[in-house]
Amino acid sequence: MADPPAHTLELVLFVVSAGDEEGREFRDTYSASHAVYSRYQVAVHGDAPHKVDAKQHRRFLVDSPLQEEAGRGSYHQQYWLDGRLIAVGVLDLLPRYVSSVYLYYDPDYSFLSLGTYAALREVALTRQLMREDPRMRYYGMGFYIQSCPKMRYKGNVRPAQLLCPQAYTWNPLAASVPKLDANKYSRLDDSDCEDAHGQVALASVGVLYKRTAMRYATYAVYSGGATDASEVSEYARLVGRPCAASMLLYRSDAAATRGSHDEEDDDSSDD
């Protein structure tokens, strides 16, 4: 007869919703989850204890615009070791992929490399969901910053690809790392591929001005002749045509006139 295991690990996946039985079970574990979050933020990210209260935690990682439908929505995957909560993975289950939003863990268990372990368990979850729905075939780990040591663990999950910020193509991580080591912002696609979304017409960029959504062309008239065209053009070039047309860039009266003030400052420095 085999000896009983020295430790037991249980994974529990909770949908983050209110008003149903699953929501009640999630709320029952919330205080334990928030306690782990607070310890993690203070020890790992150096946050002040008073800045990681329950309100901030809920706003950051619990409240979600996604509605649970057919097994899709926002979830928390909890890791319980010997009856103690040691880590929580925040996930968005989308129609075609699992998006890893955030992971926080008890600093006392950092020696377990929980970031890498959780990523492997999330890959396993993606494969499980793919067997139920073939469309669910991708796993995303969010942003990757080569110069940030806290994000390096993401490179341990392979094969991995990074999205080129200019060509919008997926490129192998191994080939991209040397470029990012040389320059934090780098084009990852070596081909002659142009931005698939093409050039962005400045007039069509979405703007939020005085609590009103409008296009840049309208904003330029209402603001009395905006002089921030170069700044807005750079923004549109970075986010691409679809985003520039569907998102709203906040503009204030100060932003509208900032370009002219900058020019005046430049002129005075030349004297």
pLDDT digits (tens, 9 = 90+) for 226-257: 788 888 888 887 777 777 878 899 988 765 55
DSSP string of the chain, one letter each residue: -PPPPS--EEEEEEE--SSSHHHHHHHHTHHHHHHHHHHHHHHHH---GGGS-HHHHIIIII--SPPPBTTBEEEEEEEEETTEEEEEEEEEE-SSEEEEEEEEE-GGGGGG-HHHHHHHHHHHHHHHHHHH-TT--EEE-----TT-GGGGGGGGSSS-EEE-TTT--EEEHHHHHHHHHH-SS-----S-PPPTT-PPPGGG-EEEETTEEEEHHHHHHHTTS---HHHHHHHHHHH-HHHHHHS-EEE-HHHHHHHHHHHHHHHHHH-
Mean pLDDT of 24-50: 93
Instruction: State which of 29-38, 139-148, 181-190 shows the largest mean pLDDT.
Output: 29-38
- What is residue 268's predicted lDDT score, i.e. its pLDDT? 39
Residue of 120, 119, 127 lying closest to 100 (CA atoms): 119
Residue 192's pLDDT band, with cuts at 50, 70 and 90, is: low
The stretch 206-217 carries a mean pLDDT of: 89
What pTM, to 2 d.p., does this model score? Answer: 0.70
**Mean of pLDDT over the chain:** 85
Q: What is the pLDDT of residue 223?
A: 80
Mean pLDDT of 86-114: 95
Going by C-alpha positions, the residue among 190, 254, 196, 195 that lies closest to residue 223 is 254
> In this predicted structure, what is the pLDDT of residue 104?
97
Rounded to whole angstroms, the Cα distance separating 48 from 36 reads 15
Q: Give the model confidence (pLDDT) of 11-25 as tens digits.
A: 999 988 655 555 678
263 confidence band (pLDDT: 50, 70, 90): very low
Residue 215 has pLDDT above 70, yes or no: yes
pLDDT, residue 221, reads 86
